């Protein structure tokens, strides 16, 4: 009999459901929420309401596209956190209800584990997956972490941001430039046309493997403020060069600590990236180049699996299912980071 897992993701502003059958992806449906565009950021209350509207059609569509019936499911995996608590409650409550109705196990998934394990999502037999232990640079809107992945369920954080995440640096600087939210993808597109050596922004000098991005944000803000006093058209006239220089600085910061981590862990031969910022063209190219130069194997996720998606929740849930690692019905979601 097949092991068929339904994954549900609702940690922020994407409602997603996916089906994994014996480790193979059968469907992955994502409904975004355009309601936040007018506010320049995610409005938690609006996000949970939109999840309530989306969850039933999204789950139905995932089951339909997988070509199965609800009664074929072996277990339900859901994102238990971190994320927005109201959003998480919608997915958690729905998963609980369905698990009771179908009489099948419930599996809690840490959203960050999902990003780290997204490299194991198989769309066909040719998908190449990492070997343990590997190092994962997890860069998203809420987190920037360097993680050693020992196995599917054992991971240790060896470095993380002490303030803003890389995604926040992209988004906050983009906002200062007047770009829509989330600004990361806009910076990525503009950077492709710009000169990355045109502007210099400050880089952090903190010891160890931890990251910091708040100084860069301030330095970016002050540069724009000073230049706008001299020339009110400064941003418009330098958009692409500003984006390229900002992106270059973020990549330099990310790579600097990753390089330190690699040198401290010579046993690691494979580097993976994950999270929304791993969709960035410059980051992807820089990681590929770095790995090539140092004789390491790079795992760069398909763009569809970089931002929030239930395929990664279903695959993380599948590995827990194989270990019979289920959760009780009184489980409560958590908002803050825990790996």
**92 token code pair:** 């958690």
Q: How far from chain centre, in Å, is Cα 171?
A: 14
Q: Which position among 79, 87, 118, 140 is part of the footprint of ligand KG4 (CB under 6 A)?
A: 140
Distance CA 172, CA 338 (A): 24
What is the enclosing helix (H) or strand (E) of 78? strand 75-81
Q: Which stretch binds ligand KG4 (CB under 6 A): 137-145, 220-228, 262-270, 329-337?
A: 137-145
Q: Which position among 170, 199, 220, 319 is part of the footprint of ligand KG4 (CB under 6 A)?
A: 170
> Cα separations (Å) of 197 from 72, 154, 243, 247, 249?
56, 40, 11, 11, 10
* Torsion on CA atoms 176, 181, 185, 189, rounded to nearest 10: -50
- Check binding of 141 to ligand KG4 (CB under 6 A): yes
Q: Residue 150: CB partners within 8 Å, gap ≥ 6?
A: 132, 133, 156
Q: Which position among 308, 316, 317, 326 is part of the footprint of ligand KG4 (CB under 6 A)?
A: 308
Closest contact distance (angstroms) between CB of 47 and ligand KG4 is 13
Distance CA 140, CA 331 (A): 25
Backbone angles phi, psi at 291, to 5 degrees: -65, -40
The residue whose Cβ lies closest to ligand KG4 is 276
Task: Kindly determine how many residues on this chain lie close enough to bind ligand KG4 according to the rule CB under 6 A.
Answer: 18
Q: How far apart are the first and last CA of the chain?
A: 32
- Check binding of 167 to ligand KG4 (CB under 6 A): yes
- Check binding of 7 to ligand KG4 (CB under 6 A): no
Compare residues 17 and 73 and give the one whose CB is closer to ligand KG4.
17
- Check binding of 9 to ligand KG4 (CB under 6 A): no
Q: How far from chain centre, in Å, is Cα 78?
A: 16
What counts of helices (H) and strands (E) characterise the chain? 9, 10
Closest contact distance (angstroms) between CB of 154 and ligand KG4 is 21
- Check binding of 307 to ligand KG4 (CB under 6 A): yes
Binding mask 274-293 for ligand KG4 (x = CB under 6 A): -xxx-xx-------------
Binding mask 184-223 for ligand KG4 (x = CB under 6 A): xx--x-----------------------------------
Closest contact distance (angstroms) between CB of 267 and ligand KG4 is 28
Binding residues vs ligand KG4 (CB under 6 A): 140-142, 167, 170-171, 182-185, 188, 275-277, 279-280, 307-308
């Amino acid at each position: 009999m097949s092991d068929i897992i339904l994954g549900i993701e609702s940690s922020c502003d994407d409602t997603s459901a996916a089906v994994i059958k014996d480790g193979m992806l059968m469907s992955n449906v994502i409904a975004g929420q355009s309601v936040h565009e007018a506010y320049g950021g995610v409005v938690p209350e609006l996000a949970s309401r939109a999840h309530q509207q989306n969850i039933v059609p999204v789950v139905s569509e995932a089951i339909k596209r997988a070509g199965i019936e609800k009664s074929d499911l072996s277990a339900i995996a859901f994102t238990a956190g971190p994320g927005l608590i109201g959003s998480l409650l919608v997915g958690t409550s729905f998963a609980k209800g369905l698990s009771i109705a179908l009489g099948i196990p419930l599996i809690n998934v840490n959203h960050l584990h999902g990003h780290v394990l997204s490299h194991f999502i198989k769309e066909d037999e040719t998908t190449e997956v990492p070997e343990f232990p590997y190092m994962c640079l997890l860069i998203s809107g809420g987190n920037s972490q360097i993680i050693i992945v020992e196995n599917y369920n054992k991971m240790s954080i060896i470095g993380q941001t002490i303030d803003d995440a890389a995604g926040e640096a992209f988004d906050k600087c983009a906002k200062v430039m007047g770009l829509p939210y989330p600004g990361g993808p806009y910076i990525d597109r503009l950077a492709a046309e710009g000169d990355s050596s045109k502007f210099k922004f400050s880089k952090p000098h903190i010891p160890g493997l931890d990251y910091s991005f708040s100084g860069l944000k301030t330095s970016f803000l002050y540069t724009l403020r000073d230049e706008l006093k001299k020339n009110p058209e400064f941003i418009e006239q330098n958009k692409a060069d500003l984006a390229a220089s900002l992106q270059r600085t973020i990549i330099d910061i990310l790579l600097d600590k990753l390089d330190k981590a690699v040198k401290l862990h010579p046993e690691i031969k494979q580097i993976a990236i994950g999270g929304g910022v791993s969709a960035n063209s410059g980051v992807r190219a820089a990681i590929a180049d770095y790995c090539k130069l140092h004789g390491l194997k790079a795992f760069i996720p398909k763009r569809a699996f970089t931002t929030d998606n239930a395929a990664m929740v279903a695959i993380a849930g599948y590995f827990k299912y194989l270990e019979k690692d289920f959760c009780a019905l009184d489980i409560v979601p958590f908002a803050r980071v825990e790996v």
